[in-house]
Structure 1
Amino acid sequence: MGITNIYLARHGETEYNRCNQIQGRGIDASLNDTGIKQAQAIAQHLQDVSIQRIFSSSLKRSQQTAEAVAKKYQLEVNTYQDLDEMDFGILEGKPISEIKPELKHLHERWKSGDVDFASAGGESPTVVFKRADNRARLILEENQKKNLLFVLHGRLLRILLSEWLGYGLKNMHEIPHSNGALYHLRWNSTGFESLYINKTDHLTDLHSKEEIASN
């Protein structure tokens, strides 16, 4: 088995991200203007990589980000509900400032190793990992020795990468993420190797332009 290059991106910004509101699987928000620019920056950065297949969740913010890359490569975006963000149940749509105690409790349970715990009406990290990992491994088996792009979500990236890279689900908070960030892994029969995590230098020019425009 040869090396498969896995590029992962977190979707661009939505208004929920900008306003610090929980999205999750049940909120299907579109990219805002900044998110569209971030998606274009991802596409520009990956232009020399020769991406061969593109995968995303079924949610708009992920699909729209993936489509910016797909347009440059003239590829189709393959979408899967299994790759959707975690369902945060009753917390979805709420400002983070209003649910700090609930989020603190959730994170403390996870950090303690109780990764089967979920918010009311939501999914646990264990459930999310199982559905997304199963789908991802099917994709990897079918696309060996190719350059693949997955456009996913913040919590989902933490869940997948914490297990794939040996951190363990209870340490998923150690995986950083930000809108438009990139990750690069290599996969073969022995497992996953990380080349970089949460790469954002392709967004530097974007931030600089925004600062100039706001002055």
Structure 2
Amino acid sequence: MKRKSIYLIRHGETDLNRQGVVQGSGVDSMLNEWGEAQAAAFFNAYQHVPFDKIYTSNLQRTQQSVRGFINQGIPFEKYEGLNEISWGTREGKEPNTGDTSYYRDLVLAWKGGDFNRAADGGESPIQVRDRQIPVIETILSRPHERNILIAMHGRAMRVLLTTLFKQPLIHMDDYEHSNLCLYRINYSYDTQRFELEVKNDTTHLLSLEIPQTF
């Protein structure tokens, strides 16, 4: 049986993550010191996996999250299709009460099935799914890549996982995530089906000391 093992991670922490600032696809932030530590811990835990290819978004925080593997010489490709959802005009701005209500209403609309609704100046979940599908097709067209590592973003991951498992987008929020979490997925070329093996796993981060905030 021909299979592909997919290690899917969310990028490590950035300063904007810690501040509660929405980044989306329009803010190309870097990992902070804690995010770099998370990336190093993930590399230490999974450096033994013989990855054939690494796929990332175009945003540097995903590439920094897998730098240890790239430095090993593992080939990697970056795709705009793996970018985070665009949250539009509010990306990168300090959170306030109005923003909290705005994002809550937007997510509630999605939970109610309005997947064409987009953030002001941003994207809808359907638009994100539509740009992800060609990347999925590219990845699956390469059966010789038996073990792959994909680094991307929280909301985009939720959209991707519903697509892989042929679920309606209303199930997006069933897939919890945290910085540098791991989803491990197997794909069978015989059955053309994906199987979830591990979800939102952060055991590789247990050795890290929780950063102090003041």
8 Å contact kept, 1:10–1:182: yes
User: Residue deviations 1:8-32, cap 9 Å, x none?
Assistant: 1110110110111000000000110
Q: Which amino acid aligns with 2:61?
A: R
Q: Which amino acid aligns with 2:117?
A: F
User: Residue deviations 1:54-94, cap 9 Å, x none?
Assistant: 010010101111222222x3213211111111101012113
TM-score (ref. length: structure 1): 0.91
Name stretches of at least 5 consecutive residues in structure 1 with no aligned partner: none
Deviation at 1:96, TM superposition (A): 4.1
Could you say if the C-alpha distance between residues 57 and 145 of structure 1 is closer, same or farther in structure 2, counting changes exceeding 3 Å? closer
Task: Tell me if 1:135 matches 2:157.
Answer: no
Task: Tell me if 1:8 matches 2:5.
Answer: no
Percent of aligned positions that are identical:
35
Name stretches of at least 5 consecutive residues in structure 2 with no aligned partner: none
Deviation at 1:141, TM superposition (A): 1.1
Alpha-carbon distance between aligned partners in 2 of 1:168 and 1:42, rounded to the nearest angstrom: 31
Greater shift in the superposed pair: 187-196 or 12-21 = 187-196
Between Structure 1 and Structure 2, which shows a larger proportion of helix residues? Answer: 1
CA RMSD of aligned residues (A): 1.7
User: Residue deviations 1:27-50, cap 9 Å, x none?
Assistant: 000110001111111111112221
TM-score (ref. length: structure 2): 0.92
Q: For residues 22-41 of structure 1, what are the structure 2 equivalents within 5 Å?
A: 22-41=22-41
Which 4+ runs in 1 deviate beyond 3 A?
Answer: 95-98
User: Residue deviations 1:112-149, cap 9 Å, x none?
Assistant: 11111101110110110111122122122124451000
Q: Secondary structure at the match of 2:207?
A: helix
Could you say if the C-alpha distance between residues 107 and 74 of structure 1 is closer, same or farther in structure 2, counting changes exceeding 3 Å? same
Could you say if the C-alpha distance between residues 130 and 4 of structure 1 is closer, same or farther in structure 2, counting changes exceeding 3 Å? same
Task: Tell me if 1:201 matches 2:200.
Answer: no
Alpha-carbon distance between aligned partners in 2 of 1:96 and 1:201, rounded to the nearest angstrom: 30
Q: Which amino acid aligns with 1:38?
A: Q
1:103 alignment partner in structure 2: 103
